Every structure is written in structure tokens, then in C-alpha cells.
């Protein structure tokens, strides 16, 4: 049997003092607490605000994610869907317009392209139009012409440089459809990342191109806020899929948002925007 020898008092005091010193210095902090402190800059998700309420009230299946830049914080409903990739549909007009301006395919936001005379199911599309009006009306044929003029090689180059979505635009034959029915896909959170870079001018485009596109994105402007955004709707999936993405500048802050939802009837075109507005109001905005 081993016998424990008594430690002299002086040595015991010295050991105790050393342990105290090491603990204060932080050397023993990890042993005392196996979970290191989280950095204050880590993005958090606020659970106290119910962004699902408007979806339930309107009977809609979908998701929304809002990023508060100053607080470095996400507010969201249906987190798994916010990390699921969908066809970008007409939200891609933001990117398409940037590339068209940058490459000189179109000179500015007021240069008019002539309507081809083909009757389409949206009356606003059946006329000559320009980049600004075509963005507002979401005129598909106008932006398809831009994509064909840009060409597959240049479009793929910019997609790769930006890292947009899954970066897949298919073959040259798909140059005017890849954002409508694939293979290009993007998640709502990737939309947020792209919009953040657009806001910061952190994209491989000239300041002129960035400023023009930001300007045509303005949907509402009041003394209190500016709301920029773009809708999207693809009918190549079952159920059909809709978007509303953009950002709100208010109270010396920026709030980036991406709403994605199943589109089951004509009213859902309005509901994309309504759900977004209700969600922003739930956060205390607008």
C-alpha cells in the first residue's frame, strides 16, 4: 500500500499561487470550460420574431431570410429552404444587366430594343422597351436578347468570377434559358451574399455599371427609406417557383432579403411582395 506523504505548507502555498496565476492568465480557462467563447462577430439567427406568420396567414409554402448588416444577424423562416438551390428566374436580370452594360452589349439603361412582334401572355412585354423598363416589367425577351449578344463564353467568365450560384449555365444553346429552367441554380442565402457584394461594389464590374443597375432596382423611395429589389417566377418546375430579392436602406442600416415560395395561383405574384413587406414590418421596418 502506498502512503501519501504530507506536503510541506510552504510548497502547498506556492502550488496554490501558481494555479491561481495560470487561471487568471487564461492557461487553464479551456480546461475549466471546454466550450471556447464565441467571437462577437459571429452571425446569429434571431428566433424571437415569427417570420412564418405571414406564410401561414396567406396559406403559402416558402421561406424568407433577412440579413441585418449593422447587427450582423439573420432573421429567417424555413431555414432548410433558405439553403436549397432554385432556378433564379428573373432575379438573374440583376446579373444579366451588369454584364450587358459592362460588355457594351447595351449602352445604357434607356437604349431601346425593338419588339419582335410576337404576342406574349403579358401585355407589357408586347412593345419596344429598354433596360430600365424591361427590368420593371420583367420582360423576358429583352434580357434573352442581351444574353445572346453577350454570348456563352463571356457570360460563363463573369459567372465564374462572381461565383454566382452553382456557376452552371449549360451549353451555348441554353444561353437564353439557363436562368429560367436550368442548369443555373442559387439558394436564398446565396442571393443575399450576391446582393451584399453588389451593395459594397465588390463585384468585377465598373462603378458606372454598378450604379446604373442599383438605380434601376429602386422600387420605392421615400424620405425614410429606399427599397431595391427584383421579382422572379419560373413555370418550369412543379410547383412553380417565385422570388423577391433585394435590400432595404433605412435608419442608417441595410437589410438584405430573399423570399422564395411555391407559386400556385396568379395572386402569388403579389403575395411574394406582400410577404416580404410583412416580414420587414415584423422586424420593425418600413
CB atoms within 10 A of CB 145: 19
List of residues 6+ apart from 221 with CB closer than 8 A? 227
User: Which residue in the list 90, 138, 209, 279 is annotated as catalytic?
Assistant: 90
90 in active site:
yes
Contact 94, 198 (CB under 8 A): yes
Q: Which three cell numbers stand for residue 131?
A: 433596360
Cα dihedral 172, 237, 232, 115 sign: positive
The answer to whether 272 and 242 have CB atoms below 8 angstroms apart is yes
Q: Please state, in angstroms and rounded to a whole number, the distance separating the CA atoms of residues 70 and 250.
A: 11
Q: Is the dihedral of CA 145, 146, 150, 151 positive or negative?
A: negative
Residues with active-site annotation: 90
Amino acid at each position: 500500500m502506498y502512503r501519501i506523504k504530507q506536503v510541506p505548507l510552504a510548497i502547498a502555498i506556492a502550488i496554490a499561487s501558481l494555479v491561481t496565476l495560470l487561471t487568471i492568465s487564461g492557461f487553464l480557462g479551456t480546461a475549466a470550460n471546454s466550450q471556447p467563447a464565441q467571437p462577437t462577430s459571429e452571425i446569429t439567427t434571431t428566433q424571437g420574431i415569427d417570420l412564418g406568420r405571414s406564410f401561414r396567414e396567406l396559406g403559402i409554402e416558402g421561406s424568407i431570410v433577412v440579413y441585418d448588416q449593422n447587427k450582423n444577424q439573420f432573421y429567417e423562416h424555413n431555414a432548410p429552404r433558405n439553403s436549397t438551390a432554385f432556378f433564379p428566374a428573373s432575379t438573374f436580370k440583376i446579373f444579366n444587366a451588369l454584364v450587358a452594360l459592362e460588355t457594351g452589349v447595351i449602352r445604357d439603361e434607356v437604349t431601346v430594343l425593338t419588339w419582335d412582334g410576337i404576342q406574349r401572355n403579358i401585355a407589357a412585354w408586347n412593345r419596344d422597351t429598354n433596360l430600365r423598363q424591361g427590368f420593371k416589367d420583367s420582360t423576358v425577351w429583352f434580357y434573352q436578347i442581351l444574353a445572346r449578344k453577350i454570348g456563352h463564353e463571356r457570360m460563363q467568365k463573369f459567372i465564374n468570377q462572381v461565383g454566382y450560384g452553382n456557376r452552371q449555365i449549360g451549353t451555348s444553346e441554353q444561353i437564353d434559358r439557363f436562368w429560367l429552367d436550368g442548369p443555373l441554380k442559387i439558394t436564398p442565402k446565396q442571393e443575399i451574399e450576391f446582393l451584399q457584394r453588389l451593395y459594397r461594389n465588390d463585384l468585377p464590374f465598373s462603378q458606372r455599371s454598378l450604379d446604373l443597375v442599383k438605380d434601376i432596382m429602386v422600387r420605392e423611395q421615400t424620405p425614410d427609406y429606399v427599397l431595391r429589389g427584383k421579382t422572379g417566377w419560373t413555370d418550369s418546375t412543379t410547383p412553380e417557383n417565385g422570388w423577391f430579392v433585394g435590400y432595404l436602406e433605412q435608419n442608417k442600416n441595410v437589410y438584405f432579403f430573399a423570399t422564395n415560395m411555391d407559386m400556385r395561383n396568379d395572386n402569388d405574384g403579389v403575395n411574394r411582395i406582400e410577404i416580404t413587406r410583412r416580414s420587414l414590418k415584423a422586424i420593425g421596418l418600413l
